[in-house]
Chains A and B, each alone.
Chain A
Amino acid sequence: MASSSKTITVVSSDGDEFEMTMKAAEQSKLITHMLDEFGVSDKVPLYNVNSETMAKVMEYCKKHADHEAAKEEDGGAAIGAGGEEELKKWDDEFLKVENGLLFNIILAANYLEIKSLLDSSCQAVADMIKGKTPEQIREIFNIKNDFTPEEEAKLRSENEWAFQED
């Protein structure tokens, strides 16, 4: 009775159902805890995650579960540094989505407690905003500027060097 052949069903906020293997589900600490508490027979409601985001998260969990299984099979040795680099490249491509979806992936990874996905996706945003101006940051994060022009000018003058390009 291989546990890897068992699957569970999760339900998104849009009501769509997604199937995932136990190994993929183990990528998420939250799902693992819920399964421990309530058992595997019921569908797991994840009403904080919409279907578009859920599909991406499923893809991530499956990829990382397969990678882990391959590592175990080879006795841990064969994957090596090359395998880890390949996975990192896959993660980078995987996160090349528009900002709305990327932010939702971050929120989902945070809620579902998938640490590696949370780290990668936050790093992707950090890499993207490095070097940007405050105006660009407001655009990206949909933030309203609640400083008066005088207040903002004062903040800028206090650390002018920080606003210069590298």
Chain B
Amino acid sequence: MDSHVPFLPRDIITNILKRLPVKFPIRFRCVCKDWKNLLKTPSFISAHLHHSQNQNPFLLFTRFNGDHTLFDLLDCSMQQLVEVQNVPVIEWVRDRLVSSCNGLLCFRIDPSLTSPPSFLLWNPAASEVRQVPGPLTDFDGLFFVGFGFNPILYDYQIVINYGTHFSREVKRVEVYSLSVGSWKEIEFDENLLEGISLRLESITVNGVIFWLASKQMMKGDDGDDDAHMIVSFNIAMEVFALIQIPVSDSPRLTVYEGKPALLVSTASENFKSFIDLWVMEEETGLSSKGMWTWNKKYTSDVFPCILSPLTIWRSQIVCNVVKPDELFPGTNREGMKDEPATFLYLFNLTTNELKMFPTGRLFPDDDIFNYCESLEPLDNRQVEEP
């Protein structure tokens, strides 16, 4: 043993180990009792998560191998697609990835359309799985799911909004807390959500779940006269809010630098398009109620193709592109026949460049999530420091 090295205190050990992929803090639990205790503390897990989010964000893809669902991770700077190992059994149609939050993946399992889903929570990096039974109810309708972190209870929670089949209005809300391990119904302002139809997709930012939604303005055959907005749910406060959005088309809801953001692609004639990025900022002011304002952060140049934005990775916009051969002459046209695209496009907001890179695999263009490794546990959340 090297007796010439000085002793390193806890905060330094944290500063070193937080930089490692999850596998290693797990491995090093058996170095000594001090390290085992340190590596399980909320402060270490939090430091590790924070570092992972900022330094090593990934894109997560799902695909079907004919049997069940597989997962690939892409680090865009390495352009290397890595298949996730030790995947729990996840069926392709029945099970659906709902949310990727702080290194935890939340899947809804819908064996039938008339009963609420059950859930599977998975931390791929730590290889931990937890089954969550659905709530018991005879409600016949649609279920809109969100998943996120409650900073007051220091706990992860699943939220189900029960919507009627026809109008998709929310009639009931139930919340599952991981530490309590059961469902509870919560009171909510029905008047606020009257006439509002939710969409299935949600994002979670800082303990608030956001769903795109619409309100039918006129009874018509199509949805063109619907007003689009966002419905938010503050997990800790258990309060809904309606947030107007500055766009009339249905945008892509995502996260930009830790804030909710909208990506809108506007197409003009001759298969040209450009992208707008709107970011939701909290209004600073005397009122502590937290008013929101939308900031048009960016408008791209017009590109000679249809840009279909998917999400944001490291402040770059990830897109699919339709009719790419005008922009990238000589693109392998084989991708346009029976096989879906094997390319992704990254739009750099600083340089205004659209870069294409091959991902080497086939993937459906809807199921892309942002992901980072974490040590967040799925049970026995430690509250006190040992």
Contacts and interface: CB of A to CB of B under 8 A. Distances in A.
B19 A134 contact: no
Contacts of B27: 134, 159, 162-163
Interface in B60-102: 85-86
B24 A130 contact: yes
Contacts of A138: 1, 31-32
A146 B37 CA distance: 13
A122 B15 contact: yes
Contacts, number: 87
Interface in B276-298: none
A134 B5 contact: no
Interface string B17-30: 10111011011111
Contacts of B2: 99-100, 139-140, 142
Interface of B: 1-8, 11-12, 15-17, 19-21, 23-24, 26-36, 85-86, 127
Given A103-B5, A103-B6, A122-B19, A110 B31 contact: no
Contacts of B12: 106-107, 110, 122
Interface string A136-161: 01111111111100001001100101
Given A147-B33, A155-B29, A155-B36, A161 B86 contact: yes
Interface in A95-120: 99-100, 103-104, 106-107, 110, 118
A126 interface: yes
A144 B29 contact: no
The 3 closest A-B pairs by CB, nearest first: A126-B19, A155-B30, A100-B4
Contact of B8 (A106, A146, A159, A162): A106
A144 B32 contact: yes
20 contacts: A100-B4, A103-B6, A106-B8, A110-B11, A123-B19, A125-B16, A126-B19, A129-B20, A129-B24, A131-B24, A134-B30, A134-B31, A142-B1, A142-B5, A145-B32, A147-B30, A152-B30, A156-B30, A161-B23, A162-B127
B26 A143 contact: no
A22 B31 CA distance: 43
A142 B1 CA distance: 6
Nearest to A126: B19
Contacts of B36: 155
A141 B6 CA distance: 8
Contact of B3 (A130, A142, A159, A161): A142
A159 B26 contact: yes
A76 B351 CA distance: 19
Most chain B CB atoms below 10 A, which of A106, A122, A145: A122
Contacts of A126: 16-17, 19-20
Contacts of A143: 31-32, 34-35
A103 B6 CA distance: 7
B28 A100 contact: no
A162 B23 CA distance: 5
Contacts of B17: 126
A11 B197 CA distance: 70
Contacts of B32: 138, 143-147
